[in-house]
Chains A and B, each alone.
Chain A
């Protein structure tokens, strides 16, 4: 085919997955590996067109395991790399999500979430993977996860995801659901020069691992990317700050497990984002992703009726917005948690909120269908009576 062309700056009416692919290119992504899966396939479809036109590579792999592994390999080759899949693909990727976290590899993983468990309903969106992306790989580790609620945020969050991955040398998830992945809406694409991009720090030339701290630095060590004579030693086994394997020293083991977690948590204020719109005494609806829109629509309707209702929408799911949820609960009359699942984030929200005010959960009337604002409003009124 002729060289594909990126969407021009301006307002477009496009589906979320397409916006996400454009956002990836704008973010500097130059490698994508993926395996077709509903409802994420439009992302590899589009990136296979665009990547070679910007000097990048697209690889359709034999499975999702190869997709994440080759993306990690490309990241060590120095490219901004990503993969995109849905829940079943994330299940297959889990072992190497842990590898990316423990080898401190910048990587963006898109999970356009769908109705599960198992094969489930591929075309119906459901926020089914919000905990598996954080806790599905074995051992203790920390990832970052962003949760867009519109095609515009699918574009914006890709830029933020790559920037966070580069800044903190870690896997960053972008977690839309299939509903907004396939929804069309206005997306404003800015000119490239208005987009701020972060680049990973690279270890100094002419040095070997022995003279450097390549890993386990809470301020994020410069990355000894391959192909520049740095003699990088990267291993998924327990390693020290120089990357050297060590399976005998309890101090090294402890640091290996905890430092990549602390590296992210100590910078949580630069990472965690919420949209707070509540006043003291409100019933505060806590939501994320597509159903955050139901929360806002319900709050708008409630306020029109003179009811004190606010919202706290989580833009990042991990690290968890513990302080922000606690702060809302301290002022709230009650908290109502909306999720497009059976309550996966509820225990985390309760842990912060339940000491301060009553907490209730509302799933959609039919799982996978977005909450209708009226149903939310009805529950809010029950909570007030």
Chain B
């Protein structure tokens, strides 16, 4: 009896037989959301993996595209994938450039690149996997860790409020910003697909489970318990906007923070070159 091949296997490197994620990790859901989005775009618009460059930084979720995805992949230093991706996109404006990385990578050490990429509106799709903790280094506090949580480096409880990254990116000028959780894989896929289609900077925050580190420090435990927590605490943005700050405590607001048009950087460079009568290169 031959085993049926996974329908997304054709998008992964044939010699990569396993991933670098722990059992129960949300990375698999996010990886599938990205590849299902590409699969739909393949059927609807004829996009293939050859049309993509995937860029990631350092941390567990930076392993989503690299080495798994059968495409050009660039695995970079901690915090810097958006800066690398900016150069790739300006050099190859026709390629789809997708950054997949974590909350520590994109919102802590790389926060300034995120802000400025949103501001300059370069056509990147950034998928930020937010597990609220530093997983790979052993469960330290992240800027996204909920206030009061006892982590390895906040043994008496975090004193800092958690970072509302999606709202910050929307405020910095990104045309498309959405947040979903790994409990919402279809919505997540749709948001990523929309982000890829959007000509401009798009940011999709995927709240994800880390059963090993976050599950331990939050005492939520196993992956399914964290997913149930996401289910029970998620709240649509439209509804959240009618609620007070007290009522919103502990909730995860999900949905689209913005969806608008704005002049995009790489295409403006193409227009400038055309105006000056010069093709790229």
Contacts and interface: CB of A to CB of B under 8 A. Distances in A.
Contacts of A56: 280
7 contacts: A57-B269, A66-B86, A70-B87, A74-B90, A224-B72, A227-B92, A232-B73
Most A CB within 10 A of own CB, among B50, B76, B77, B84 = B84
A231 B71 contact: yes
Contacts of A237: 75
Contact of B86 (A3, A59, A76): A59
Interface string B238-281: 00000000000000000000000000000001001100111111
Interface size class of A (residues with CB under 8 A): 35 or more
Nearest to B84: A73
A229 B71 CA distance: 7
Most B CB within 10 A of own CB, among A70, A73, A208, A233 = A73
A52 interface: yes
B87 A69 contact: yes
B75 A236 contact: yes
Interface of A: 3, 30-31, 33, 52-57, 59, 61-63, 65-66, 69-79, 81, 95-96, 99, 208, 210, 224, 226-227, 229-237, 244-245
Contacts of A233: 13, 66-67, 73, 75
A95 B77 contact: yes
Interface residues of B, number: 42
A232 to B, nearest CB: 5
Given A65-B80, A66-B116, A227-B95, A74 B281 contact: no
Given A69-B80, A74-B90, A232-B72, A30 B276 contact: no
A62 B87 contact: no
A65 B281 CA distance: 24
B38 interface: no
Contacts of A230: 72
Contacts of B13: 208, 231, 233
A358 B55 CA distance: 54
A73 B81 CA distance: 9
Interface string B79-94: 0100111111111101
A145 to B, nearest CB: 22
Contacts of A59: 86-87, 90
Given A70-B84, A234-B73, 8 more contacts: A69-B87, A73-B83, A73-B85, A77-B92, A99-B76, A226-B88, A227-B95, A231-B49
B15 interface: yes
Contacts of A236: 75-77
B130 to A, nearest CB: 22
Given A57-B269, A226-B92, A236-B76, A63 B84 contact: no
B171 interface: no
B53 interface: yes
Contacts of B55: 73
Nearest to B90: A57
A79 B86 contact: no
B269 A74 contact: no
Given A52-B272, A226-B92, A66 B113 contact: yes
A62 B269 contact: no
A77 B88 CA distance: 5
B134 to A, nearest CB: 18
